[in-house]
Amino acid sequence: MSDLPAGIYFALLPQEYIDDAYELEVQGYPADEAASLESLRYRQAHAPALFLGAFLAPSPQSKPVLLAFACGTLTSSSLVTHASMSSHDPSGTTVALHSLCVSPTHRRLGIGRALLEEYAKRAREGAMGGVQRIALLSRASLRELYKQVGFKEIGESEVQHGQEKWYDMVLDLNPAEEDVQAPAEAAAVPGGADLQSIPGAAVPASGGTEPDPPTMDGPTQAQVIAALLAERTRPPAPDSRTAATIPAGELTDARGRNVQRLRCLRPGCGSLILLEGVGELREGGEESLFDLDADRPAPHPLFPPITPSQKWWLVTPSPMAFENVAFSRAVPPAAGDSGGRARKYLGCAECELGPVGWCWEGATTEYWVSVDRVGYRT
């Protein structure tokens, strides 16, 4: 089994996390493939033992954060059928696994694979009833990855769903002796990409051909996450560059995401705020409501004034996407603010330099960081 590092754990999805799961679902699937909120509610209500989440443990600033989930329904069919997507047959012995989603901020760490392994383990141990088989639909590019977890390919599915061609994959939980595959053989299949979804987001073209894939035992994912966590306790970084000194076009990669890490601007602090590739550059737009006049704390002298052309890093879907960040208390809306919602301001978690960004108070998935109020260093 995978050996996930401390801080990530599996648990059946509590009802109050359905909205969070739906958020991951719509981020992970094209619109014509994503399950509706109602479908997810149905699955959680009727088959709660089949709705498993991977959570990041709570911090002082946050309740547990849903990083990934897998959910399904029971069917008396031996393969995934269209009907099984919207119905649950309690007497069925096949789990039709409909969704496996990993937060975009936590992909390629092996969480999807570990979740699937945990799911199969629970099914084997009887936690899902008298289940004999897990069946799913895989897009062509993900078949090898499922095989690494022990799934067998049956062939092209008859199910029409979205634009893609789907393949039936099954994992028999009590296989006949001769059907058992040697795990070492399965693990040798190349493929470092996370299992993002079933059917799910496209895996990058390079995803299936990485030379050094993590094994099913997961030391790679443990190392990666341990390295991320270790960043929090490193000494202050040397002073960072400001956005104004970085040539246009070098701030973002081809996907429009930050090439360099975001750090606190205060000389001598340099606390790591955001890893590379997590923030999405946004210019203007109605989301960029950083009202400077009325309702925010006074800016630090280090900060340039925020102008209407201010650019932002959009960070989603939760505070856990940040490496370190502090939140102000809720600031009530200014008089005449049409939005009428309170906001919180973001600052350096170590020296409290801020505000460097903002978010709405209460339920939100969007965190906005000023491009000009953070430092950049690889």
When the beta carbons of 38 and 352 are compared against Zn ion, the nearer one is 352
When the beta carbons of 69 and 313 are compared against Zn ion, the nearer one is 313
- In the complex, the smallest distance separating the C-beta of residue 139 from Zn ion, rounded to whole angstroms, is 44
Interface mask (CB under 5 A) for Zn ion, residues 229-268, using x and -? -----------------------------------x-x--
- In the complex, the smallest distance separating the C-beta of residue 352 from Zn ion, rounded to whole angstroms, is 7
When the beta carbons of 80 and 346 are compared against Zn ion, the nearer one is 346
Residue 369 interacts with Zn ion (CB under 5 A): yes or no:
no
- In the complex, the smallest distance separating the C-beta of residue 349 from Zn ion, rounded to whole angstroms, is 8
Q: Which of 351, 360, 366, 377 binds Zn ion (CB under 5 A)?
A: 351
Q: Which of 348, 359, 369, 374 binds Zn ion (CB under 5 A)?
A: 348
Peptide bond into 355 cis (omega under 30): yes
Number of shown-chain residues binding Zn ion (CB under 5 A): 8
Look at residues 109, 165, 111, 115 and name the one whose alpha carbon lies nearest to residue 142.
165
Cα diameter, the chain: 73
CA-CA distance, 218 to 248, in Å (whole number)? 39
Look at residues 106, 109, 105, 100 and name the one whose alpha carbon lies nearest to residue 137.
100
Say which DSSP state 70 is in: E
Dihedral (CA of 32, 44, 46, 131) sign? positive
Residue 272 interacts with Zn ion (CB under 5 A): yes or no:
no
When the beta carbons of 52 and 264 are compared against Zn ion, the nearer one is 264
Look at residues 319, 224, 242, 227 and name the one whose alpha carbon lies nearest to residue 274.
319
When the beta carbons of 153 and 350 are compared against Zn ion, the nearer one is 350
Report yes or no: 291 and 355 within 8 Å, Cβ to Cβ.
no
Q: State the CB neighbour count (10 A cutoff) for residue 85.
A: 20
Window of 51-59, 158-166, 238-246, 269-277 that interacts with Zn ion by CB under 5 A? 269-277
The total number of residues shown for the chain amounts to 378
Q: Which of 27, 73, 271, 288 binds Zn ion (CB under 5 A)?
A: 271
3-class secondary structure, 55: strand
Window of 63-71, 223-231, 273-281, 344-352 that interacts with Zn ion by CB under 5 A? 344-352
When the beta carbons of 89 and 231 are compared against Zn ion, the nearer one is 231
- In the complex, the smallest distance separating the C-beta of residue 376 from Zn ion, rounded to whole angstroms, is 14
Window of 105-113, 145-153, 255-263, 345-353 that interacts with Zn ion by CB under 5 A? 345-353
Look at residues 73, 68, 42 and name the one whose alpha carbon lies nearest to residue 56.
68
CA-CA distance, 353 to 346, in Å (whole number)? 9
CA-CA distance, 78 to 318, in Å (whole number)? 38
- SS3 readout for 198-225: CCCCCCCHHHHHCCCCCCCCCHHHHHHH
When the beta carbons of 85 and 269 are compared against Zn ion, the nearer one is 269
Residue 353 interacts with Zn ion (CB under 5 A): yes or no:
yes
Tokens, residue 364: 């939100």
- In the complex, the smallest distance separating the C-beta of residue 67 from Zn ion, rounded to whole angstroms, is 27
Place of tokens 């978690």: 349
When the beta carbons of 56 and 346 are compared against Zn ion, the nearer one is 346
- In the complex, the smallest distance separating the C-beta of residue 326 from Zn ion, rounded to whole angstroms, is 9
For Zn ion, the binding residues (CB under 5 A) are 264, 266, 269, 271, 348, 350-351, 353
